[in-house]
């Protein structure tokens, strides 16, 4: 561990956020160290639904909608490069994504939300890329599969889609290492100090000296920033999921709450619960998810559930990302968002030049930490 002076930057956190940024950094030619403490408790990256999704992002904030849409549109190029470099098929499907509604009330709420986002886009002379569809349209989209009686319609985006988030993580880490990045797993950062030109990191694997640091550790950013005397206003939102056995392919595009993965299993999500940092599953939530899945596709009733789990979404109070330099700590950066799959393309392409001392990209100018008055 003695010779870590040879790095330009250390990325703390090896999940979807850390890996994307670290990969972008090595691609820009930097010498990058990525460390992860494998804190299994809150690792959102390993329990992700896998949506590449813009249609519901940024109601009331066109800047965030635009950012998400740009990320989705750049995803094909991003994964094309990543797949070629890694040799891993990450199961990208873009071009269709549905937020499905059951009953009239869900449909009218969804209609209202889409109308609002379309209006906001028009105010900027832009176009929101999703629209409402009715039950018949949904039937047309899913083909022969029988829909449940309560299916009333939904909102549809022709740019959204999904990927396998675990393979995305695997591919990004693989290419990061292949391109010369160093990844130390099981390395917990216990102290951060700025001395002279360098950050001195006290870690479970020894001392690390490095001129730049990037905090990309999800909820782990909270204690890291505390070491620098700063607060990070993150909120944990628990989501429970069900996963079924592999079944024959029947659904070629994702719904926001139900998708069939590349291997054939069906992911059924997800609850949104504010229960702090605990990640227990509950049988009542599982029952609710199962009921809803059968209401959508009655044919799924015989399909077996093989496991369920819960994880925490990393939300800010306003739901928007945080990308910022840390005050009084030059060359240190904090990154946090719940949307690390969708935004992966931009995390890799947009953030590195800024982190390496370049200009802050205009498109992220509003995602500062200071908006929370901390």
Binding site for other proteins (CB under 8 A): 14, 36, 38, 40, 46, 144-146, 166, 169-170, 173-174, 177, 183-186, 242, 244-251, 263-264, 266, 268, 281-288, 290-291, 293-294, 297, 299-309
Residue 244 half-sphere exposure toward CB, CA atoms < 13 A: 24
**DSSP string for 183-217:** EEET--EEEEEEETTEEEEEETTEEEEESEEEE--
CA distance 68 to 65: 5
Closer Cβ to other proteins, 240 or 316, answer by number:
240
The nearest distance, CB 177 to other proteins, in angstroms, is 6
Closer Cβ to other proteins, 37 or 66, answer by number:
37
Closer Cβ to other proteins, 49 or 183, answer by number:
183
The nearest distance, CB 57 to other proteins, in angstroms, is 25
CA distance 248 to 268: 16
CA distance 32 to 16: 16
Closer Cβ to other proteins, 77 or 149, answer by number:
149
CA distance 112 to 105: 11
The nearest distance, CB 39 to other proteins, in angstroms, is 11
The nearest distance, CB 173 to other proteins, in angstroms, is 6
The nearest distance, CB 65 to other proteins, in angstroms, is 30
Closer Cβ to other proteins, 48 or 55, answer by number:
48
CA distance 176 to 172: 6
Residues contacting 131, CB < 8 A, separation 6+: 114, 155, 156
Spatial contact of 45 and 169, defined as CB atoms under 8 Å apart: yes
CA angle at 310 for the pair 304 and 312, rounded to the nearest 5°:
150
Closer Cβ to other proteins, 49 or 297, answer by number:
297
Query: 145, exposed or middle or buried, with CB in 10 Å at 0-12, 13-18, 19+?
Result: middle
The nearest distance, CB 349 to other proteins, in angstroms, is 23
Closer Cβ to other proteins, 31 or 371, answer by number:
31
The nearest distance, CB 183 to other proteins, in angstroms, is 4
């Amino acid at each position: 561990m003695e010779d870590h002076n040879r790095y330009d930057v250390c990325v703390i956190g090896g999940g979807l956020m850390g890996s994307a940024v670290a990969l972008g950094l090595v691609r820009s030619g930097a010498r990058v160290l990525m460390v992860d403490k494998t804190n299994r408790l809150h690792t959102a990256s390993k329990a992700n639904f896998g949506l590449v999704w813009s249609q519901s992002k940024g109601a009331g904030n066109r800047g965030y909608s635009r950012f998400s849409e740009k990320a989705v549109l750049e995803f094909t190029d991003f994964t094309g490069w990543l797949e070629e470099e890694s040799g891993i098929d990450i199961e990208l499907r873009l071009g269709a994504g549905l937020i499905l509604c059951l009953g009239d009330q869900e449909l009218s709420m969804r209609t209202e939300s889409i109308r609002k986002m379309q209006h906001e886009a028009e105010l900027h002379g832009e176009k929101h890329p999703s629209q409402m569809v009715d039950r018949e349209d949904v039937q047309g989209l899913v083909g022969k599969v029988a829909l449940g009686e309560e299916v009333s319609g939904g909102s549809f985006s022709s740019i959204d889609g999904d990927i396998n988030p675990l393979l995305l993580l695997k591919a990004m880490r693989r290419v990061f290492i292949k391109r010369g990045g160093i990844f130390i797993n099981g390395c917990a950062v216990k102290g951060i100090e700025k001395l002279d030109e360098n950050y001195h990191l006290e870690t479970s694997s020894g001392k690390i000296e490095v001129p730049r640091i990037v905090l990309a550790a999800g909820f782990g950013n909270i204690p890291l920033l505390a070491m620098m005397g700063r607060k990070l206003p993150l909120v944990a939102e628990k989501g429970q999921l069900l996963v079924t056995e592999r079944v024959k392919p029947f659904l070629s595009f994702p719904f926001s709450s139900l998708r069939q993965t590349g291997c054939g299993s069906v992911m059924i999500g997800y609850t949104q619960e504010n229960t702090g940092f605990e990640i227990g599953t509950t049988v009542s939530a599982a029952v609710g998810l199962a009921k809803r899945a059968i209401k959508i596709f009655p044919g799924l009733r015989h399909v077996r559930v093989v496991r369920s789990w819960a994880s925490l979404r990393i939300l800010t109070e306003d739901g928007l990302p945080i990308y910022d330099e840390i005050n009084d700590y030059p060359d240190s950066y904090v990154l946090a968002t719940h949307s690390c799959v969708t935004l992966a393309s931009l995390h890799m392409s947009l953030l590195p030049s800024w982190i390496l001392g370049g200009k802050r990209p205009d498109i992220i100018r509003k995602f500062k930490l200071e908006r929370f008055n901390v």
